[in-house]
């Protein structure tokens, strides 16, 4: 039996008497894109924080590549090969795009030549080559979000966690980001992503994990999740479920203009 790259087992996280996550378990296999979805306040980002080391869960275990990483600090987890982005992007505004990515590259590279080669590669992967020598603070939100991905890629991770990577972007920027994510998976990257814009990401997901009020209510392939009555009631809604079901065939990247957040 294949061992998953990431194994989240029985995670419970509390803030005083508030239970943000309760006994949440799921796995991510190497090479998959897995979506973590649910309504606002369902505990998605809290769970991300438990996986990435920002929070230490009250109970449960996070295993990455066979190693227990529960409660390890974020820099140790990043050094092991699991890195993340954040909902609010904060580039080093006065530094160039390339300099921002170099910050991540030096985690792995001990000399300037190899760090620059690594940063150059990640800038190109994230479609930022024309911006490489411009101040990061002057970019659009879409470019800043791709810069955030380039920066974590420069640390040579085995898996990345994307926290609302397409939120707030224009239709064109969403398509660019989604295409980039598909390209990363094609190159062997494993991805776990929190997202609200379902019509943009559902076609590229291998598996979906659904949270509601801190509890996992469903896990499975997108076509199965879109028909799950509990998920439709809690989050997707009838309209989106019908639109997804009426799609002619599965596709690797969305065509046309992505829709907005489901209601």
How far apart are alpha carbons 101 and 104 in whole angstroms?
5
Residue 247: per-residue pLDDT: 55
The pLDDT tens digits of the residues spanning 116-147 come to 999 999 999 999 999 999 999 999 999 999 99
Mean pLDDT of 93-97: 95
Closest among 13, 10, 47, 55 to 193, alpha carbons compared:
47
Mean pLDDT of 204-211: 96
**200, pLDDT greater than 90:** no
Q: Where are the domains of the chain?
A: 1-81+157-232+251-258, 94-156
How much is the pLDDT for 256? 43
Residues shown for the chain:
263
Q: Return d(Cα 38, Cα 195) in angstroms, integer.
A: 8
> DSSP assignment, residue 66?
T
Can you list the pairs that 12-16 forms with residues at least 24 positions away whose Cβ atoms lie under 8 Å?
12/57, 12/58, 12/59, 12/60, 13/43, 13/46, 13/47, 13/50, 13/55, 13/57, 13/58, 14/58
Assigned CATH class of 1-81+157-232+251-258: alpha beta
pTM of the model: 0.86
CA distance 81 to 77: 7
């Amino acid at each position: 039996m294949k061992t998953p790259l990431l194994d989240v087992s029985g995670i419970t996280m509390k803030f005083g008497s508030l239970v943000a996550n309760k006994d949440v378990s799921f796995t991510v296999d190497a090479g998959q894109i897995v979506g973590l979805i649910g309504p606002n306040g369902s505990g998605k980002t809290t769970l991300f924080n438990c996986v990435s080391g920002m929070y230490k869960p009250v109970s449960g275990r996070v295993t990455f590549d066979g190693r227990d990483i529960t409660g390890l600090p974020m820099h140790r987890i990043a050094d092991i090969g699991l890195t993340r982005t954040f909902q609010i992007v904060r580039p080093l505004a006065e530094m160039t795009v390339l300099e921002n990515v170099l910050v991540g590259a030096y985690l792995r590279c001990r000399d300037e030549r190899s760090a620059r080669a690594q940063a150059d590669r990640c800038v190109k992967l994230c479609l930022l080559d024309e911006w490489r020598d411009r101040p990061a603070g002057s970019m659009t939100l879409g470019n800043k979000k791709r810069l955030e991905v380039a920066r974590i890629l420069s640390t040579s991770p085995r898996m990345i966690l994307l926290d609302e990577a397409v939120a707030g972007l224009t239709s064109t920027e969403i398509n660019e980001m989604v295409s980039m994510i598909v390209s990363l998976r094609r190159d062997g990257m494993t991805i776990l992503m929190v997202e609200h814009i379902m019509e943009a990401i559902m076609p590229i997901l291998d598996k979906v994990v659904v949270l509601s009020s801190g509890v996992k209510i469903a896990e499975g392939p997108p076509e199965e999740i879109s028909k799950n009555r509990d998920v439709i009631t809690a989050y997707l809604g009838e309209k989106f479920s019908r639109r997804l079901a009426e799609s002619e065939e599965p596709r690797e990247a969305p065509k046309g203009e992505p829709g907005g957040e489901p209601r």
